[in-house]
Structure 1
Amino acid sequence: MKNEYIIVFVTVSNKREAMKISQILLIKKIVACVNIIPEIYSKYWWKKRIESSKEVLLIIKTKKVLLNKLITEIKTVHTYSVPEIVAFSIIGGNIDYLNWIDESVNK
């Protein structure tokens, strides 16, 4: 498997933005799946102040080789000037699910 699969977390401002980004990524076959967690509460530093906001979390499943393309696509439509896009290697899992990721994305 060699760490070729990844999970990517992306936070967005609202459900509409989440739906737009997930649809673009799916249509372009950059991702196999996007889970949309509709309401999270975030606290963070921004411009030397502690801020808090409601956000939507995307949990994205794809392949490591598609990460740069995924980042580029998200940054072109994301409303944040510095969007959270962080990736984690999948170290193992159901081989049938991982094969499904392979079949679902562009090679």
Structure 2
Amino acid sequence: MARRLAACAQVVAPISSTYWWAGEVQQAEEWLLLMKTTADRFEDLAACVRELHSYEVPEIVRFRSCRGHRTTWSGSGGRRSQSETSSADVAE
């Protein structure tokens, strides 16, 4: 959040994950991080996650807004306008 690459971050934890890694099925307790940003900041945000994450290959999934709303916080220092709805503010 200090880098202002996301307008909002939510941590969902703990979750139980089962996945393939290094040719074997792995199980782990993990934390799901949801971050809302604009399309022009997505690559910088993804690079920041890769830099700071403890995993060799963190999973980064991009969703586009299904409502067509655009975030305007990028020009306001991270503050949202009253007209924005958080459920639609996923990467454009």
Equivalent residue letter for 1:68: E
Distance 1:40 1:79, change over 3 A: same
Is residue 40–residue 54 contact of structure 1 (8 Å, CA) maintained in 2? yes
Q: Which runs of 4+ in 1 moved over 6 A?
A: none
Quote the residue 1:69 is aligned against: 44
Deviation of 1:98 after TM superposition, in Å, equals 3.6
* Aligned-partner Cα distance in 1 for 2:72–2:57: 33
Q: TM-score, normalised by structure 1?
A: 0.64
CA RMSD of aligned residues (A): 2.1
Where in structure 2 are there 5+ consecutive unaligned residues?
Answer: 80-92
1:42 matched residue in structure 2: 17
For the residue of structure 1 that corresponds to 2:58, the secondary structure is coil
Summarize the Cα distance change of 1:54–1:75 in structure 2 as closer, same or farther, 3 Å threshold. Answer: same
**Which of the residues 56, 72, 88 maps onto 2:63?**
88
TM-score, length-scaled by structure 2: 0.74
Match of 2:83 in 1: none
- Give the distance between the partners of 2:36 and 2:4, measured in 1 at CA: 11
Which protein has the bigger strand share?
1
Larger radius of gyration: 2
Matches within 5 A, 1:5-84: 26-84=1-59
Structure with the bigger percentage of helix: 1
Deviations 1:35-79 (A, max 9, x none): 111211100000111111100000111001111101111111111
Report how many residues are paired. Answer: 78
5+ residue gaps, structure 1, are 1-25
Higher relative contact order (CA 8 A, sep 6+): 1
Percent identity (aligned): 29
